[in-house]
Amino acid sequence: MSTESISDLKKWVGEVIRQSSDGEFVGLNRVVDMVSKNFAVHPHEVAILVITEDDRFLRFVVPEKLRQVGKIPLTSTNSLAARTVREKRPEVINHFAVVPHSSVFEAVPITEAERGEAIQKIMSAPILQERKVAAVIQISRKGKTAADAGPDFTHPQLRELKIVADTLAPCVPLFSKQ
């Protein structure tokens, strides 16, 4: 992300924290818009998952349609998000469609346009609070083929995603209430 974009995101996060003292978080769409534009993906290709209060599962905050679908056990061996929590490190996979993973969430149509499109490429980064993973942010590229999905994610983009994750960390309590 450019320095200007990060500065805008930090300013926005500070404003949201001040405005959300009553616990209602209304700015989630703004986060998704800023992040999706930065990484040149569709808004439905940005996911934020939070750890449940019992520290056993991840649940989606966005995309909103995935909130009611189910939870991902942190013990899952086929979940990139769960691995991101366990290993506390960001990761990029530009051949995700051939990596064994549970595709139950991919089967949920978020928009008519992307019905049936698999995640081809993905980046995942932990969102830490007090050195403990509290949430995960993922950016994906969907398409019928890897070529249809667009360009590969790069390691500089993965570093940018980690900066975004660090910037969003103060919002995790608000995300958790969604």
Q: What is the CATH number of the domain that holds 40?
A: 3.30.450.40
Identify the residue with better confidence: 24 or 98: 98
* Partners of 52 in beta bridges: none
Q: From the centroid of its chain, how far is CA 154?
A: 17
pLDDT band at 23 (very low <50, low <70, confident <90, very high): very low
pLDDT per position as a tens digit, 114-139: 556 889 999 999 999 999 999 999 99
pLDDT per position as a tens digit, 101-111: 565 455 555 55
* Partners of 62 in beta bridges: 48
Number of domains in the chain: 1
Q: Which of 15-24, 27-36, 109-118, 148-157 has the highest mean pLDDT?
A: 148-157
pLDDT per position as a tens digit, 39-70: 999 999 999 999 999 999 999 998 888 888 88
pLDDT band at 4 (very low <50, low <70, confident <90, very high): low
Q: Which H or E run contains 128? A: strand 118-129
| Domain carrying residue 68 | 3-176
